[in-house]
């Protein structure tokens, strides 16, 4: 355009209008259309905020409604229950306030059994998964044995463990370890076996020894499965510890719950149930937090 005369410029301009195209200078001088990005970005953000609010508010409202129906004895009328069979929430709160120090002490005792038992059982389960993966010919049968042990009810394990380890802390830890071993063994084995064949071929092409394949490939791939098993065991361990205390114990929430039912102190018994549920939820949240810390590299964690 610099060397064109006025007539040539007019000709070029009219020619461009006839073709439907625009000279570059004219296009640059026109104001840019308003960007649609804020509207496109704001809408999903508002949607995420709304979903987060509903995710919190709806369960809270459902819980408040359930407690209100319970307190107004609507549940008692529906299921034909008396107050000594199902104490009111206000009576449970009152019993918790009166026995708070005892309840907290027994909750700590039960939680100790659950944590130690889960750690021992999960460690044994992981070792079994390692053996079954490294030597599948004779180690694979151990998974079947662990699954068979998991099928034995806790009420049958409790007297056996009491004979082996006495009526102290050890018998309940052994019960919890036996009940949490299978979930870890089966999940960890699945994680170690379900690896990318191309990655395994690459390791073999480098003549990597079996220990290196386990260290860099199989164990790393099993971590999401391991944390899934730990989350399952976090709640299962509380059940194992409390049921074990039902039979042979002089402390713990299971022991207090059993005695409360025997002497018809149902609000105190329900207080034990409430504290056991709270302890189980806290235990689960701790494991979930550890999962976010240790496997933040995993694709399932990148979106969260």
Confidence of residue 9 (pLDDT cuts 50, 70, 90): very low
Per-residue pLDDT tens digits for 261-271: 888 889 999 99
Q: Which of 74, 83, 107 is nearest to 264 (CA)?
A: 83
- Please indicate, yes or no, if residue 78 is contained in any of the structural domains: no
What's the confidence (pLDDT) of residue 149? 85
Mean pLDDT of the chain: 82
Q: Is the dihedral of CA 171, 175, 176, 178 positive or negative?
A: positive
- Please indicate, yes or no, if residue 127 is contained in any of the structural domains: yes
- Please indicate, yes or no, if residue 62 is contained in any of the structural domains: no
End-to-end distance of the chain based on CA atoms, in angstroms?
Answer: 55
Query: Which residue is it, tokens 């059994």?
Result: 113
Per-residue pLDDT tens digits for 93-134: 999 999 999 999 999 999 999 999 999 999 999 999 999 999
- Please indicate, yes or no, if residue 107 is contained in any of the structural domains: yes
Confidence of residue 45 (pLDDT cuts 50, 70, 90): confident
- Please indicate, yes or no, if residue 11 is contained in any of the structural domains: no
- Please indicate, yes or no, if residue 5 is contained in any of the structural domains: no
- Please indicate, yes or no, if residue 10 is contained in any of the structural domains: no
Q: How many CA atoms lie within 13 A of 286 on its CB side?
A: 10
Q: How many CA atoms lie within 13 A of 122 on its CB side?
A: 21
Q: Which of 145-159, 162-176, 217-231 has the highest mean pLDDT?
A: 217-231
Token reading at 304: 């969260």
Please count the structural domains in the chain: 1
For residue 280, what are the domain limits? 89-297
- Please indicate, yes or no, if residue 17 is contained in any of the structural domains: no
**Whole-prediction pTM value?**
0.76
Share of the chain above pLDDT 90, in %: 44
What's the confidence (pLDDT) of residue 237? 92
What's the confidence (pLDDT) of residue 32? 47
- CATH number for position 232: 1.10.3720.10
């Amino acid at each position: 355009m610099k060397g064109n005369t006025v007539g040539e410029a007019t000709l070029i301009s009219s020619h461009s209008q006839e073709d439907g195209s625009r000279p570059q200078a004219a296009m640059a001088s026109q104001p840019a259309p308003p960007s649609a990005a804020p509207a496109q970005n704001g809408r999903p953000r508002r949607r995420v905020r709304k979903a987060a609010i509903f995710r919190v508010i709806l369960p809270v409202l459902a819980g408040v409604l359930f407690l209100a129906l319970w307190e107004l004895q609507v549940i008692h009328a529906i299921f034909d229950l008396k107050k000594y069979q199902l104490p009111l929430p206000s009576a449970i709160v009152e019993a918790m306030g009166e026995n708070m120090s005892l309840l907290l002490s027994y909750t700590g005792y039960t939680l100790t059994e659950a944590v130690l038992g889960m750690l021992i059982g999960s460690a044994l389960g992981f070792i079994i998964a390692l053996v079954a993966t490294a030597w599948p010919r004779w180690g694979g049968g151990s998974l079947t044995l662990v699954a068979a042990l998991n099928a034995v009810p806790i009420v049958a394990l409790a007297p056996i463990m009491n004979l082996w380890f006495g009526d102290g802390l050890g018998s309940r830890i052994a019960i919890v370890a036996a009940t949490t071993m299978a979930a870890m063994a089966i999940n960890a084995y699945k994680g170690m076996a379900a690896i990318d064949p191309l990655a395994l071929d690459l390791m073999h092409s480098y003549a990597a020894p079996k220990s290196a394949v386990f260290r860099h490939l199989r164990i790393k791939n099993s971590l999401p499965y391991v944390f899934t098993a730990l989350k399952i065991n976090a709640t299962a361990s509380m059940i194992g510890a409390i049921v074990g205390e039902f039979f042979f114990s002089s402390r713990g929430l299971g022991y207090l719950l059993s005695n409360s039912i025997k002497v018809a102190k149902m609000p105190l018994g329900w207080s034990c149930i409430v504290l056991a549920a709270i302890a189980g939820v806290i235990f689960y949240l701790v494991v979930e937090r550890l999962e976010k810390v240790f496997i933040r590299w995993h694709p399932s964690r990148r979106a969260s």
